[in-house]
Amino acid sequence: MIQLDEQQRRAYLDALGITLWLPREQRDDAVNSDAATVEIVQQQSPAQPVSSLGWDGLRDCVADCRLCELHKGRTQTVFGVGDQDASWMIIGEAPGAEEDRRGEPFVGRAGALLDEMLRAAGFERKNVYIANTVKCRPPGNRNPRSEESAACRAYLDRQIELVSPDLILAVGKVAAQNLLGSDEPVGALRGQRHMFGRIPLIVTYHPAYLLRSPTQKRLVWQDLCLAKMTVAEAGR
């Protein structure tokens, strides 16, 4: 005999159009439980699909997001900054402590080094758009887990759609692997042209890694040259 739990039994009876009699106190508990579930879903689901949101709606949706556990420890969400019509979009990994405090991606020493990288490529920070794969800081600055990145993915995809850049620069392992659906290390992914849909994508090292391994800066310069060449050859 198949054993059904109470929730499954109620679902089958509802589907058959059979009303299940319950004592009053159990009916009240069931109603309260269902109402709580609906409230949670309403809190976590935007009023319209993320894929249809404009910049203001998307920013508000991210600010209210509680789709994963990271929201519990954040000071604020870190949405993104820069030119919303930029030619280059820079995508990093996750906010750190300073980013969480200020609400801006790539600040502090790593942010200053990213600014130097951009200037070497002929850009100022204000001329590109910068975002992260997740919008809340993971505890202890650990890498975001797969389910956390997945929960934030619709927001990132919509940012990419809205910017519609000529090129994506994926900075660091987490960003590169998430965008490319790969488990290869940065060293194996850099130095070549990838595609994110119809958008060329170049992988390079994260500035935080360069602070620990400054001799790798020459490889980042090669990546930036490849990125510039890719855009130029596409006539963009």
Which sequence spans correspond to the domains of the chain?
76-233
Arithmetic mean of pLDDT, 143-166 = 97
- 122/76 Cα distance (integer angstroms): 31
What's the token pair of residue 207?
A: 């500035």
* Strand ranges, E, within the chain: 81-82, 88-92, 129-132, 167-171, 194-196, 199-204
CA 49 to centroid of chain Cα atoms: 16
Q: Which CATH homologous superfamily contains domain 76-233? A: Uracil-DNA glycosylase-like domain (3.40.470.10)
Reference 63, options 131, 174, 155, 197; nearest CA is 155
Arithmetic mean of pLDDT, 82-96 = 97
- 69/99 Cα distance (integer angstroms): 18
- 193/189 Cα distance (integer angstroms): 9
What's the token pair of residue 180?
A: 């490319």
Residue 133's pLDDT is: 97
With contact defined as beta carbons under 8 Å apart, do 125 and 86 qualify? no
The full DSSP string for 119-131 is HHTT--GGGSEEE
Residue 234's pLDDT is: 83
H-type helices in the chain, by residue range? 6-15, 24-44, 55-63, 97-102, 108-120, 146-163, 173-180, 186-189, 207-212, 217-233
Arithmetic mean of pLDDT, 163-187 = 97
pLDDT confidence tier of residue 235, bands split at 50, 70 and 90? confident
**Whole-prediction pTM:** 0.80
* Dihedral class, residue 233 (left if φ above 0, else alpha if ψ from -120 to 50, else beta): alpha
- 193/200 Cα distance (integer angstroms): 7
CA 87 to centroid of chain Cα atoms: 20
- 30/130 Cα distance (integer angstroms): 46
- 92/169 Cα distance (integer angstroms): 9
pLDDT (tens digit per residue) in 94-141: 999 999 999 999 999 999 999 999 999 999 999 999 999 999 999 999
User: Environment class of residue 6 by beta-carbon count within 10 Å: exposed (0-12), middle (13-18) or buried (19+)?
Assistant: exposed
With contact defined as beta carbons under 8 Å apart, do 178 and 192 qualify? no
CA distance from start to end of the chain: 67
